[in-house]
């Protein structure tokens, strides 16, 4: 061993600090699992009709990507998710914040929300198909309904938790109604609104997958359902993988958005 | 009591405030002349905050009335309040907090820039203009609250125990700072404290309140001239005597408040 190397103890990879070690471990563990899966599938220990080898799924993924169908389905699902998010989220935000500020409106609307909230959103799908038909409207409605509740409820709670003194300050400095909404209620409730947005997006993702399985001829939900009907199991895994990836990406994006919108949280 | 041709800035006449069965303020009458620095002292729970909130228009009197007659200059607000405890918006930077009043009344950007810049400079927090309140110490936050009220350029400043949460050194520095800023324009100030020293250091007149229900127990004039040097003042024998006298008055009330609490609790 050369002298130079021996005087730099940090050079040893085993003396990494705890955080980077944990990061590497959490990166390696899924890879190890995939490797194990691959080996077991090839050895025939796993039934590849149900659990095709990861390499097999990857090659199906590549084929589907080059043919363009995967991209199309992904874009369609994401468009529905985005439109549904806006259609459900914007009214939810406004209604939630206004309910938080105004006790009369709260007394009016809160019972409606409390009564309809426990209904599993997926069970409304047949009704949505009946009323809105098989087109885009029913898919967007399903996403919107899933997004609506968590955002409305969290916005309301967020506003109600704002310390009264801030409203007094607004009043004393002659803030008008719109000013109070814009400079106090909205930013004050933003941490909880973001929690609602994250829950809502998760809910929307679940519901778009379900809605596309039943009443659609496109989208990732349809892709997965179609794979079941044609017993193309590796395609099913590709669909699941892409949905998981979207969920993961959205989480990262929302975390960044939160840092931008709530820069004042310690 | 007040003579001369200047109408009092605030005239409070037989004002009472009830919360259900509780009488928070009982028949308070006082004239506060324009430009006076009035300090209110009283045991906690005697209705000081309630009185200030009524003057600020955040609460209504139950009985009686108060009138505010100030030269109504175009666009200038009647009063601005420095609230008891932390009241800076945590979601706004120091600059945005200090600019809040001016923005709410639609002041031109150039004026906001000049005035807010001036007061941040006066409180020595120019470097922290872009910081959020949670990044500041308690004393710094309190300075920003004061800058927020001053920058709004009100006729009357209402200050509710702005320094009570601070340690002794910070308190002294901020009292000096407040007096320096106040000397610039000599606005009418109603200042609440439970510290007798602070009352004498800052006030032109001191109003001592009784324990609940809050009444005017005594009104005293502080004999020291202006501008005042806080450090010099503390060495003055007259200062010590005045503090002592006020303490004796206040002590009766504090004892009474205490025995009330024991009876209730
Ligand atoms: N909104 C309210 N509702 C009921 N009681 C109140 C309210 N505000 C104040 N009080 C009561 O009025 C009394 C005076 O309170 P406050 O003005 O805060 O006293 P101080 O500021 O002198 O400590 C206290 O007993 C307090 O509990
Ligand atoms: Mg008080």
Q: pLDDT tens digits for A132-154?
A: 998 999 999 999 999 999 999 99
Cβ–Cβ below 8 Å for B81 and A172: yes
H/E stretch holding A141: helix A136-160
**CB contact burial B154-184 (16+ within 10 A = b; e otherwise):** bbbbbbbbbbbebeeebbbbbbebbbebbee
pLDDT in tens, A158-179: 999 999 999 999 999 999 999 9
| Alpha-carbon separation of residue B228 from A34, B195, B197, B203 (angstroms) | 78, 18, 14, 10
Scanning A161-229, the segments in alpha helix (DSSP H) are: 164-172, 177-180, 186-215, 220-229
Answer with the one of B154, B187, B212 that is the final residue of a domain: B154
- In sign, the C-alpha dihedral spanning A61, A65, A71, A72 is negative
pLDDT of amino acid A15: 66
Q: Is the pLDDT of residue A244 over 90?
A: yes
Tell me the DSSP string of B149-217. Answer: HHHT--SEEEEESTTTTS-HHHHHHHHHHHHHHHHHH--EEEEEES-HHHHHHH-SEEEEEPSSSB-EE
pLDDT of amino acid A151: 97
Task: Characterize the bridge pairing of strands B79-82 and B156-160.
Answer: parallel
Name the phi and psi angles at B204, rounded to 5.
Answer: -85, -40
Name the closest-CA residue to atom 24, ligand 1: B45
HSE-up of residue B50 (Cα within 13 Å, Cβ side) = 24
Spatial distance between the Cα atoms of B155 and B78, rounded to a whole number of angstroms: 5
Spatial distance between the Cα atoms of A124 and A142, rounded to a whole number of angstroms: 8
Query: How does residue A10 score in pLDDT terms, banded at 50, 70 and 90?
Result: low
Spatial distance between the Cα atoms of B48 and B31, rounded to a whole number of angstroms: 16
Dig out the tokens for A179 from the structure: 């000013």
pLDDT of amino acid A90: 97
Is B95 inside any structural domain?
A: yes
**Domain enclosing residue B27, as ranges:** 1-71+157-265
Is B79 inside any structural domain?
A: no
pLDDT of amino acid B194: 87
Q: What is the pTM of this model?
A: 0.84
* Burial tier of A248 (Cβ tally within 10 Å: 0-12, 13-18, 19+): exposed
Spatial distance between the Cα atoms of A223 and B28, rounded to a whole number of angstroms: 77
Q: Given CB atoms, is B56 within the 8 Å cutoff of chain A?
A: yes
pLDDT of amino acid B260: 82
B136 to chain A: closest CA residue: A266
- In sign, the C-alpha dihedral spanning B119, B125, B130, B133 is negative
pLDDT of amino acid B67: 92
Q: Given CB atoms, is B92 within the 8 Å cutoff of chain A?
A: yes
Is B80 inside any structural domain?
A: no
A187 to chain B: closest CA residue: B91
Does residue B143 sit in the same domain as residue B111? Answer: yes
Count of CB atoms situated within 10 Å of the CB of B257: 18
Answer with the one of B154, B169, B194 that is the final residue of a domain: B154
Does residue B12 sit in the same domain as residue B130? Answer: no
Does residue B101 sit in the same domain as residue B224? Answer: no
Closest Cα in chain B, distance from residue A90 (Å) = 22
Does residue B136 sit in the same domain as residue B218? Answer: no
Q: Is B53 in the pocket of ligand 1 (CB under 6 A)?
A: no
pLDDT of amino acid B207: 97
Q: Residue B14 sits in a domain of what CATH number?
A: 3.40.50.300
Give percent of chain A above pLDDT 70. Answer: 94
Does residue B105 sit in the same domain as residue B199? Answer: no
Nearest to B58 among A168, A184, A264 (CB): A168
The SS3 of residue B24 is strand
Are B191 and B40 a contacting pair, CB within 8 Å? yes
Is B76 inside any structural domain?
A: no
- In sign, the C-alpha dihedral spanning A139, A143, A202, A116 is negative
Give percent of chain A above pLDDT 90. Answer: 83
Which of B50, B89, B93 to mutate against chain A (most A CBs within 10 Å)?
B89
Answer with the one of B154, B179, B201 that is the final residue of a domain: B154
CA of B47 to the centre of ligand 1 (A): 6
Closest Cα in chain A, distance from residue B163 (Å) = 17
Those of residues 231-250 in B touching chain A at CB distance below 8 A are none
pLDDT of amino acid A8: 52
Nearest to A264 among B79, B83, B134 (CB): B134
The SS3 of residue A39 is helix
pLDDT in tens, A43-58: 999 998 899 999 999 9
- In sign, the C-alpha dihedral spanning B120, B124, B130, B135 is negative
Does residue B148 sit in the same domain as residue B169? Answer: no
Query: How does residue A18 score in pLDDT terms, banded at 50, 70 and 90?
Result: confident
pLDDT of amino acid A265: 84
Is B108 inside any structural domain?
A: yes
Cβ–Cβ below 8 Å for A172 and B90: no
Cβ–Cβ below 8 Å for B87 and A171: no
Least confident of A9-13, A114-118, B208-212, B258-262: A9-13
Q: What is the dihedral of CA A29, A33, A34, A40, to 10 degrees?
A: 160
Number of domains in chain B: 2
Cβ–Cβ below 8 Å for A165 and B152: no
Q: Is the pLDDT of residue A19 over 60?
A: yes
Does residue B191 sit in the same domain as residue B261? Answer: yes
Q: Given CB atoms, is A174 within the 8 Å cutoff of chain B?
A: yes
Is B175 inside any structural domain?
A: yes
Q: Is B82 in the pocket of ligand 1 (CB under 6 A)?
A: no
pLDDT of amino acid A141: 97
Spatial distance between the Cα atoms of B207 and A95, rounded to a whole number of angstroms: 47
Task: Characterize the bridge pairing of strands B205-209 and B37-41.
Answer: parallel
User: Which residue has 């820069």 as its token pair?
Assistant: A263
Ligand closest to Cα of B161 equals 2
Which of A164, A173, A177, A184 to mutate against chain B (most B CBs within 10 Å)?
A173
Q: Is the pLDDT of residue A5 over 50?
A: no
Question: What integer is the mean pLDDT of A63-68?
Answer: 92
Instruction: From the CA of B51, give the closest atom in ligand 1.
Output: 17
| Alpha-carbon separation of residue B172 from A18, B33, B88, B195, B233 (angstroms) | 46, 27, 22, 12, 12
pLDDT in tens, B7-38: 788 999 999 999 999 999 999 999 999 999 99
Is B78 inside any structural domain?
A: no
Does residue B64 sit in the same domain as residue B164? Answer: yes
Name the phi and psi angles at A90, rounded to 5.
Answer: -65, -50
Count of CB atoms situated within 10 Å of the CB of A27: 9
- In sign, the C-alpha dihedral spanning A70, A72, A76, A79 is positive
Spatial distance between the Cα atoms of B94 and B147, rounded to a whole number of angstroms: 10
Does residue B234 sit in the same domain as residue B166? Answer: yes
CA of A130 to the centre of ligand 2 (A): 61
Spatial distance between the Cα atoms of A73 and A247, rounded to a whole number of angstroms: 15
Does residue B58 sit in the same domain as residue B161? Answer: yes
pLDDT of amino acid B230: 87
The SS3 of residue A239 is helix
Is B40 inside any structural domain?
A: yes
Does residue B7 sit in the same domain as residue B66? Answer: yes
pLDDT below 50 — which residues of chain B?
1-3
Does residue B242 sit in the same domain as residue B123? Answer: no
Nearest to B132 among A184, A188, A264 (CB): A264
Scanning B91-165, the segments in alpha helix (DSSP H) are: 94-104, 109-122, 138-151
């Amino acid at each position: 061993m050369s002298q130079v190397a021996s005087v730099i103890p940090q050079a040893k990879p085993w003396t990494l600090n705890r955080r980077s070690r944990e990061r590497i471990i959490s990166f390696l563990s899924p890879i190890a699992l995939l490797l194990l899966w691959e080996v077991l599938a090839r050895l025939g220990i796993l039934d590849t009709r149900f659990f095709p080898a990861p390499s097999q799924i990857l090659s199906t993924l590549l084929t589907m990507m080059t043919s363009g169908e995967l991209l199309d389905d992904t874009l369609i699902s994401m468009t529905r998710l985005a439109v549904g998010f806006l259609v459900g989220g914007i009214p939810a935000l406004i209604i939630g914040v206004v309910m938080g500020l105004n006790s009369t409106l709260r007394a009016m609307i809160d019972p409606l929300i409390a009564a309809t909230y426990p209904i599993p959103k997926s069970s409304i799908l047949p009704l949505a198909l009946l009323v809105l038909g098989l087109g885009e409207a029913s898919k967007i409605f399903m996403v919107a309904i899933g997004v609506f509740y968590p955002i409305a409820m969290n916005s309301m709670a967020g506003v109600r938790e704002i310390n009264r003194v801030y409203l007094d300050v607004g009043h004393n400095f002659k803030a008008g109604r719109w000013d109070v909404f814009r400079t106090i209620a909205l930013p004050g409730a933003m941490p909880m609104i973001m929690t609602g947005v994250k829950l809502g997006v998760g809910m929307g993702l679940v519901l778009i997958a379900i809605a596309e399985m039943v009443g659609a001829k496109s989208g990732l939900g349809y892709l997965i359902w179609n794979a079941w009907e044609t017993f193309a199991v590796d395609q099913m895994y590709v669909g699941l993988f892409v949905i998981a990836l979207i969920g993961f990406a959205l989480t990262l994006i929302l975390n960044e958005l939160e840092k931008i919108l709530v820069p004042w949280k310690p | 009591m007040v003579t001369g041709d200047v109408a009092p800035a605030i005239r409070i006449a037989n004002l009472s405030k009830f919360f259900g069965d509780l009488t928070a303020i009982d028949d308070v009458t006082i004239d506060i002349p324009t430009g006076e620095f009035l300090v209110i002292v009283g045991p906690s729970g005697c209705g000081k905050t309630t009185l200030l909130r009524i003057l600020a228009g955040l609460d209504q009197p139950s009985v009686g009335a108060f009138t505010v007659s100030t030269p109504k200059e175009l666009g200038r607000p009647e009063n601005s309040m420095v609230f008891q405890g932390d009241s800076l918006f945590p979601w706004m930077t120091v600059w945005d907090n200090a600019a809040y009043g001016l923005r709410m009344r639609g002041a031109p950007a150039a004026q906001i820039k000049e005035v807010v810049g001036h007061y941040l400079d006066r409180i020595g927090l120019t470097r922290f203009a872009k910081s959020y309140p949670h990044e500041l110490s308690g004393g710094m936050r309190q300075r920003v609250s004061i800058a927020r009220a001053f920058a709004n350029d009100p006729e009357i400043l209402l200050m509710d125990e702005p320094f009570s949460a601070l340690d002794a050194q910070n308190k002294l520095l901020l009292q000096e700072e407040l007096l320096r800023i106040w000397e610039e324009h000599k606005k009418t100030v109603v200042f609440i404290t439970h510290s007798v020293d602070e009352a004498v250091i800052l006030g032109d007149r001191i109003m001592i309140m009784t324990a609940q229900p809050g009444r005017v127990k005594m009104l005293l004039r502080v004999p020291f001239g202006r501008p005042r040097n806080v450090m010099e003042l503390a060495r003055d024998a007259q200062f010590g005597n005045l503090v002592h006298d006020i303490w004796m008055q206040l002590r009766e009330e504090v004892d009474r408040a205490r025995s009330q609490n024991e009876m209730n609790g």
